[in-house]
Amino acid sequence: MERFERLKLKPFLIDAVKELGFEKPTEIQERIIPSILKGESVIGQSQTGTGKTHAYLLPLLNNLDPASQSVQVVITSPTRELANQIYKEVLKLISHHDQEIQARCFTGGTDKQRSIDKLKQQPQIVIGTPGRLHDLLKVNALHVNNTKSFVVDEADMILDMGFLEDVDRIASGMPEQLQMLVFSATIPEKLKPFLKKYMANPKFTHVAPKQAAAEKIEHVLLPLRHRNKTKLVHDMLLAYNPYLAIVFTNTKKMADAVADELAAKGLKVGRIHGGLPPRERKKVMKQVNDLEYQYVVATDLAARGIDIEGVSHIINYELPQDLDFYIHRVGRTARAGYSGLAVTIYETSDEDALAKLEKMGISFAYKDLEGSEFKDADDRHRRKNRPKTDREVDERAKHGIRKPKKVKPGYKRHMKWEMDKIKKKQRRIKRREK
């Protein structure tokens, strides 16, 4: 706890940290909290699970003025689920302050008039989704003209989901001397003009993960081999009998198709993607957390935008186009010290993506499903790595010799001599490999 005290946080935050059970700051907290305390703008690049939420909440709440009844801190997040998670963490921290601090959360899918009514007294901290915060600004219900700090969390997701324009409009109503804090797992090119517009000389902190994925995850590759993919997933789910499994697809359309097909085969399946109406998504999340579903089909919204506890199995119906999302997907399991299993159904067309994942430090086991049992399978490099036969050595030797354009006397004898030389070399290589 001394290390948190060394960061010069106020006593109420040290008490809060103790209650939360944090023993020492994470790398991003240690590196970024001093800068935020000084009022500097920062860009923090780090994966989910590195402690970045508290890396900005602790210093921002430390610098908050409880006596000032104006919006001092605005935090925007791409999904209502993430916004609500941040709000809950804020409430835990401010409950330790001896003065009252007001925090409010505003997201889509809730009654807009009720949100406006809650802003009759402006809170010191506002958390919300970009669309709803912009709506409240447009009707002059939310006042951000005195805001000191603006946090853009999961900025690359905000960009992907098409909310960056709303974020830009929110920021444009804030003071020029604004502390901007941007956190993102990746920094795409399309995000850079926005960063340049609002951040003159930000401190950039990149915390690379110590390893690509948690230690207790077993990564498995399972070949499709011309089988029906959804039937294969169905059979896998029954064979694994998971505590809770998430099947990841790349699109909302595919998620619906897979969920419908699994449901038609008799499985009770939840689905989570950005195309669901807010009320439906909230209902499904409650059912998942109440363990009403053993199986959930989801898009990458559930990889970073939603926190689901108790996931024992991840199944990649298809590999994500952005391979960073493989890490986010599998990061839904093996949390809080538990182990987890991440299975990817692969085809030969996935070879480049799998090679890149291996370069990122992912080590795969190979399994196949025979009937209702999983058995060890040959790895996909087997053909490439197997020893060459004598016939293949002869073939390689033939291909290694260039036939002359003009045939001279003794040419056949010379060809045989050249082939014997190459064959001897190939056999020496074979012996060394053994």
pLDDT value, residue 206: 84
| Helices 390-399 + 411-433 axis angle, to 10 | 130
* pLDDT (0 to 100) of residue 313: 95
Name the CATH superfamily housing domain 2-207: P-loop containing nucleotide triphosphate hydrolases (3.40.50.300)
- Per residue in 372-427, pLDDT (tens digit) is 899 999 888 765 554 555 555 555 555 555 555 555 566 567 667 777 777 777 77
Task: Identify the band that residue 111 occupies on the pLDDT scale cut at 50, 70 and 90.
Answer: confident
pLDDT of residue 407: 54
Mean pLDDT across the stretch 253-264? 96
**pLDDT tens digit string along 193-202?**
999 999 988 8
CB 151 within 8 A of CB 122: no
Q: What percentage of the chain has pLDDT greater than the value 90?
A: 57
* Paired tokens of 412: 């056949």
250 neighbors 316 (Cβ within 8 angstroms): no
- Give yes or no for a contact between 247 and 258, defined as CB atoms under 8 angstroms apart: yes
Shortest CA distance to 163 belongs to which of 280, 57, 77? 77
d(CA 412, CA 25) in angstroms, rounded, equals: 76
Query: Could you read off the pLDDT of 266-286 as tens digits, one per residue?
Result: 999 999 988 888 788 889 988
CA distance 219 to 362: 7
Which of left, alpha, beta for 49 (phi over 0: left; psi -120 to 50: alpha)?
left
148 has pLDDT over 70: yes
Percent of the chain whose pLDDT exceeds 70 = 87
Structure confidence by residue, pLDDT tens digits, 164-178 = 999 999 999 999 999
Residue 334 reports pLDDT greater than 90:
no
Give SS3 for 367. Answer: strand
- The phi, psi pair for 403, rounded to 5°, reads -70, 130
- What is the reported pLDDT for 73? 98
Token duo for residue 229: 């993919």
Please report the pLDDT score of residue 237 as a whole number.
96
What is the torsional sign of CA 374, 376, 380, 383?
negative
- Answer whether residue 361 shows pLDDT above 80: yes
The beta-strand segments (E) located in 261-346 are 269-272, 295-298, 313-316, 340-346
pLDDT at 353: 94
DSSP for 318-330 reads: S--SSTHHHHHHH
Task: Say what the pLDDT of residue 193 is.
Answer: 92
pLDDT of 103 reads: 97
Q: Which amino acid is at 161?
A: M
State how far the alpha carbon of 331 is from the alpha carbons of 85, 203, 334, in Å: 17, 28, 7
Range in 100-109, 122-131, 333-342 the model is least confident about: 333-342
Decide if 384 contacts 239 (C-beta within 8 A): no
Answer whether residue 34 shows pLDDT above 80: yes
CA distance 129 to 315: 29
In the structure, what pLDDT confidence band is assigned to residue 128 with cuts at 50, 70 and 90? very high
Give pLDDT, residue 335: 67
Mean pLDDT of the residues in the chain: 87
Q: For residue 231, what pLDDT is reported? A: 96
Average pLDDT of the segment spanning 299-316: 84
The C-alpha atoms of residue 262 and residue 260 are separated, in whole angstroms, by 6
- pTM value is 0.70
Judge contact between 304 and 154, C-beta under 8 A: yes
By C-alpha distance, which of 102, 152, 99, 158 is closest to 126? 102
Neighbours of 237 (CB within 10 A): 20
Rounded Cα distance between 304 and 186, Å, is 12
What does the domain layout of the chain look like in residue ranges?
Answer: 2-207, 217-382, 387-433
First to last CA, the chain: 56
CA distance 55 to 30: 8
Q: How many residues does the chain have?
A: 434
Q: What is the mean pLDDT of residues 112-135?
A: 95
Give domain 217-382's CATH architecture.
Answer: 3-Layer(aba) Sandwich (3.40)
Pairing type for strands 245-248 and 125-128 reads unpaired
Q: To which H or E segment does residue 179 belong?
A: strand 179-184
Residue 352, pLDDT score: 93
**pLDDT tens digits, one per residue of 57-106:** 999 999 999 999 999 999 999 988 899 999 999 999 999 999 999 999 99
Q: Give the chain's radius of gyration (CA, Å).
A: 28
Report the alpha-carbon distance of residue 63 to residue 12 in Å, rounded.
12
| pLDDT the model gives residue 186 | 81
